[in-house]
Structure 1
């Protein structure tokens, strides 16, 4: 039995896109919080809802553990948690309801609850923890378990109801945890990793697991919501990261995903990391998320030496004007150089792209498609502009938002503001561009694949004039809008035999 049952609300089975991909990862942020509790001498159990059905199984664990506190502590290192999906919200509220029926105190932490603390208090939670909340969680749980009154002003990032039922919060609205990098490794021993191993082996033939070397991102892209750490950046010691990697390798990990927001920010750290990995014989293939302008020649070589197999770069757009509007601080020539360096090093170079940002019209979409075709990334990930609270982008389009303000799952991708086109058009572009990039890995490209790509681009061209939002397109070049086709289908070049 445990005093605290900690969990999270993401369940793979409720997300059709991620279920198809079948790439489940353990909730690292949740397990860091479990480690923090355990270090304070608080007994803790973890209910991992990633692969476990979160209704009956959660109730069964409540029966088994009889906890005094239930903490729904979302994984801040998983982009799915950061998307503030309504399906996750519903699961969290259901968990709170079940716990309350048993008179168990409930606590919640995550991006969505940080943005909307009052909403979570209204739906069954006693406390909301905002910001980097591991320390606040341990202080709160320790006080509750001792039976002390909770001194709200003394606990940063805490929100609760007062005697009248109104939300009240501490003076420091966001908790800070500058000591995060010194925490013990995530408490993986509190969950069963075998279902993860089986899922990966069955779907992909190898076992991938996850870890992080840093928390936060100091860049200021104006669409990026960062309710937990803001612009702060915490970096773990290179030796500690390499040691954790060695432990995972010995435990049978064949691949690692680093869930950092931005990997390789510190070039000297990357060099030291490569040395520490080599010293421990800890290298396994791994993938990271980073920026193109961080891919210096030396950094790419150090990444290769450490085992890096894949770098996902936030390219966002092939239009410099759109990147400038996003405050991305990135030049397209830097992307071209990074892609070339990674290819020369034998590291897969992948682009994150975003469609629908204000100011992106027909020309800018064409520029992005051509940029992808010219630079031929190994893979792409496509999303649509998603206004979340706390961003300049959200404030820019706030008056355009309706009742729906969050996506329900990761493939929802609904345009919720006045973009240049409707959702159907952007989805058609996504489908066609994905299919074309995927076709490049076919050597040679089959006639069936070529025909499918042609048909998808044909659909894009047919939808383009029908899906325009004329109000949003006001001010764009009318001559451009009257052009016959958005995409020159003939520009698609199938991969011939023998050419990768």
Structure 2
């Protein structure tokens, strides 16, 4: 039996935008792995960076756990982890170095590690798992248990999807995208999480408490802008009965007021959602929840089933109000579907958020105006706005990597820097993001503002829009990257 410390390196304190937003969630994938390792017979501890004051807290947690093995397993359900923020990489590398000094073996897994294993190996990691890495992790743990003094070369020998250093060079046999591992089942190790610390911050900031769970792993859709270093286009959904049982457990054990469903796409099939609602009704286990979905999945039957199950809010990947841009993205949805889905959810009393992406290759002023018009016509209750963000492993990255220079990642989630030559500079897109948010906020305040005040604020907003577009030529990029006929991939992540 090994003493294993499982942890992650997303420190909310290091992301000012998200700290201000104040909506932290426990590291779901991390505690799923902790549960799996404990099921294998090992003693587990957790270092949860989310609410830590800083990486300085890690030394004390490491000393208290005194582990044989440290597994830094990033939360694959946290979209902020998928951003591969440089500040969090710095923290992970410091944790790796401290763990090695303590005498522990170190394994690292996550989106950033899958893309750039060399950075984590250079920090001292013995092995980096590429992708979800469950099979390789289980094999490494088994080998270490049988031979605690095994050398690194023998420990990692013959394991595909494991990066390690051999004579100073990275050695890795990539597997390609692998389906979600069936061994990740059952209840996550919730007992390792300081739930009351999360509850306290949620209550302080918002007056209610939210927890997270997931009904599936992966996404089967093939949007050209989406980077998927963990599961590729594979998708695995749990049974409706199992998911309902977990929600019921969370309700009875921790009494959350709300659940964030961390799936890339929740529900997917109407029959599954209807069965989920039935099981929740039988167990009295429903908690109001928020999902992510697509416009083309928002049929009348689906929306009705989601509302019946307790869905309170749905975030739709709208991306753009320009059909030309949506088609170039290979999004597979239409502007008309976006508007219709938003209407259906609203009619069933479900709040709607739109994810908006700015700066896609080939996007021009007319496309941006179409996005503004979509937000005005569809009137979502909230929006999240980002820009196209190139990450390794995508065709888009290959197209623009020569332009990236020294800065290849955002430092925190509010960076919103254009990493390639889009049609406009970063300031233009930041201004447009701010105006889109003001537009949504103004609509939401119609019932609280007097008609005269609302007209004045609306006029001021129109003036700011007109000013931005009047000076748009000053923000144009010289020789923007051309958009070839072949669709290209990026990753667009929401800055809520």
TM-score (normalised: structure 2): 0.91
Cα gap change, 1:300 to 1:123, in 2 (>3 Å): same
- Match of 1:388, SS? coil
CA contact (8 A) 1:115 1:227 kept: yes
Report Cα offsets for 1:297-352 as digits up to 9, x if no partner: 11111100110000000010000110111111111111111011101111111110
**1:155 corresponds to which of 155, 159, 163:** 159
Cα gap change, 1:473 to 1:70, in 2 (>3 Å): closer
Unaligned runs of 5+ in 1: 476-500
CA contact (8 A) 1:108 1:129 kept: yes
2:475 equivalent to 1:467: yes
Q: Which residue of 1 aligns with 2:233?
A: 231
Report Cα offsets for 1:13-72 as digits up to 9, x if no partner: 110110111000000010011011001001110010100124332111111111011111
- Match of 1:141, SS? helix
Segment of structure 1 superposing worse, 144-153 or 244-253: 144-153
CA distance in 1, matches of 2:159, 2:53: 33
How far does residue 199 in structure 1 lie from its aligned partner after superposition? 0.5
CA distance in 1, matches of 2:110, 2:320: 29
Report Cα offsets for 1:462-494 as digits up to 9, x if no partner: 54121111422989xxxxxxxxxxxxxxxxxxx
Q: Which residue of 2 aligns with 1:370?
A: 373
CA distance in 1, matches of 2:458, 2:42: 59
- Match of 1:428, SS? helix
Q: Which residue of 2 aligns with 1:201?
A: 203
- Match of 1:440, SS? helix
Provide the aligned length of Structure 1 versus Structure 2: 473
How far does residue 454 in structure 1 lie from its aligned partner after superposition? 4.3
CA distance in 2, matches of 1:26, 1:407: 23
**1:428 corresponds to which of 426, 431, 444:** 431
CA contact (8 A) 1:439 1:445 kept: no
TM-score (normalised: structure 1): 0.91
- Match of 1:58, SS? helix
CA contact (8 A) 1:152 1:170 kept: no
Q: Aligned ranges for residues 342-353 of structure 1 at < 5 Å?
A: 342-353=345-356
Q: Aligned ranges for residues 399-410 of structure 1 at < 5 Å?
A: 399-410=402-413
Q: Aligned ranges for residues 78-477 of structure 1 at < 5 Å?
A: 78-147=78-147, 148=150, 150=154, 152=156, 154-162=158-166, 164-170=167-173, 172=175, 176-180=179-183, 183-250=185-252, 251-442=254-445, 443-445=447-449, 447=453, 449-450=457-458, 453-454=461-462, 456-472=464-480
Report Cα offsets for 1:258-303 as digits up to 9, x if no partner: 0001112222211111111111111111000010100111111110
CA distance in 1, matches of 2:82, 2:481: 30
How far does residue 449 in structure 1 lie from its aligned partner after superposition? 4.6
Cα gap change, 1:220 to 1:468, in 2 (>3 Å): same
Unaligned runs of 5+ in 2: 484-496
Report Cα offsets for 1:107-147 as digits up to 9, x if no partner: 11000010011221112211001112233223212211321
CA distance in 2, matches of 1:80, 1:322: 25
CA distance in 2, matches of 1:209, 1:50: 13
Segment of structure 1 superposing worse, 235-244 or 459-468: 459-468
CA contact (8 A) 2:202 2:210 kept: yes
Cα gap change, 1:240 to 1:393, in 2 (>3 Å): same
How far does residue 248 in structure 1 lie from its aligned partner after superposition? 1.1
Q: Which residue of 2 aligns with 1:36?
A: 36
